[in-house]
A and B are shown apart, each in its own frame.
Chain A
Amino acid sequence: MISRREFLSLAAAFSATAVMPAGAYAANRAKVVVIGGGVGGATFAKYLRRKAPNVDVTIIEQNPIYIRPYGSSEVLTGHIDLSDLEVNYDALRNRYGVKIAIDRAIGLDADRQIVKTASGTEYAYDRLVVSPGIELSYDKVEGYSKELAETKAPSGWIPGSQTSLLRDQIQNMRQGGTMLIVAPPNPYRCPPGPYERGALVAEWMQKHNPTGKVIITDPKNKFTAGNNFLLGWNRLYGYNIPMEFMEGMPDDVVEHTTPGMIDWIPGKDGGTPISFDAANMSIETEGGNIKADVINIVPPMKAGKIAQQFGLTNEQGWCPVSRVTFESQKIANVHVLGDASIADAMPKSGFAANTQAKVAAYAIAHLLAGEAPEQSPAFENTCYALAGTDYGFFVSAVYELRDGKIAKKEAPGLQDLDATEAQRRLSAVYQQAWMKSFTEDCFA
């Protein structure tokens, strides 16, 4: 049953659809333009073409090859090469008939429903989908800049040349040197990412730089799958778990008497970063100055630049959307997916963007056909994370709409702390398998 209010809002959506000039561009062929060919944009285009083969779908993307961010910390330890992250658009083009325009969107005429690009082309749309990912706010860390990130203290959070630079810095670091990771404040892309990165580098150091050290300084007092990470670090890298995290920890937790290879400084212990001193290679934190040989700053984030330019963001820099259709609450007929959108309880992860994209694709297929979309969609997130090559765990959740917001359905969301070695190994196997299966679901 739908309430009268829902019916009225649906009716409004219907009449809007009815007057839409879909036929003005080409007879009965609705046009959907997607800005951004990452996880959200690619999955959306694929699933919309599967659901509504008559709809004309064009992705506007700057880069002919996508470099996937998930799993990119594995480049730092040489487990994979940067080129292993590359994904092409052949299947989207050839199997699903998605048009790929290698171009850059630069302007939006929301009244005429036209996107303008750097090449001077105008793309008319019935529905526009913006899936721009994140922009790193380098300037939010005093003394830091994009230029310094590309030459001295890489963030490596959007994979590319900064990832290669960070890998080279780690691998060429002096014996006994320190890598400092500056973790970002919430919300940010890939919540377990900074901690997995620290663990993978510590594991690499055990073989190649056994007196080296990883320090993670953090404005937060807790983080996703935190207990699983702290336990894994205790077992693998000599980390001592703080008292307040000891509840529920299994019996084999050891109090190490020598310093471990990894350390985490939460905000309450002074971990909040204040500024970066490039000349001295140090970070000033609330708790004092930390000098390091390699400094990896993961700065605060906001929605990708194009979303800001188009006026789709709120004051915090993220995009408010309908949780049913992902239509922007700022501009009609424009939808925002993935990391850039405000999706309540869902994390900013690839898996989240992938399931949001499918819901949006189905909703838009209905809207273009003059029908109402499914009013109670479901979403999911699964993130496998590693504390070591053979030591995996996960966060997972199913989501539904509750009072107009995306809420987690009741269930445990984490791997049990007393998971067996076999289970941890299995999570690590699935982590690797998922890199392939997930990429295929998005792009192939």
Chain B
Amino acid sequence: MKKVMILSALLLSSSAFADERAEIMANNCAGCHGTDGIVEDSSLISIAGLKAEVFIETMQDFRNNERSSTIMRNVALALSDDEIAAMAEYFEALPTGEEK
């Protein structure tokens, strides 16, 4: 009986995991871009509410050296297309500083 419950719990939660991985990856940006993508310092950029297509295009530009950067080229090269897309979706859904 217990085993059955465990199994169903695993199956139920597995679909939520994909979303959570995007959130976990997005959390890694917060050291520079702020908790929930909002940072006060003006030399760093808030990324909360950024349109997903802009996020993806910017990351591609970093990768291709078409946009000057410090660490972001390396970060963009380390992330897969799927990871970038998932993070883009995640940040787009976050409220910007003005909305908060």
Contact = CB atoms under 8 A, between A and B. Distances in A.
B32 A415 contact: no
B21 A433 contact: no
A223 B6 CA distance: 48
Given A377-B24, A397-B78, A437-B34, A429 B43 contact: yes
A437 B71 contact: no
Interface residues on B, range: 35 or more
B67 to A, nearest CB: 12
A143 to B, nearest CB: 39
A378 B21 contact: yes
Nearest to A47: B27
A351 B74 contact: no
A357 to B, nearest CB: 10
Interface residues on A, range: 35 or more
Interface stretch (B9-17, B53-61, B89-97): B9-17
Contacts of A371: 9, 13
Interface stretch (A260-268, A290-298, A299-307, A405-413): A405-413
Given A374-B17, A396-B75, A359 B31 contact: no
Nearest to A380: B28
Nearest to B43: A433
B78 A410 contact: yes
A179 B3 CA distance: 65
Interface of B: 2-3, 6, 9-10, 13, 17, 20-21, 23-25, 27-35, 39-41, 43-44, 68, 70-71, 73-75, 77-79, 83
Given A396-B74, A427-B70, 9 more contacts: A7-B10, A355-B27, A358-B27, A359-B24, A379-B28, A398-B78, A422-B68, A430-B44, A434-B31
10 contacts: A15-B2, A47-B27, A362-B20, A372-B10, A377-B21, A384-B70, A412-B73, A422-B68, A430-B43, A430-B70
Interface of A: 2, 7, 10-11, 14-15, 18, 46-47, 351, 354-355, 358-359, 362, 366, 370-372, 374-380, 382, 384, 392, 394, 396-398, 409-413, 415, 422-423, 426-427, 429-430, 433-434, 436-438, 440-441
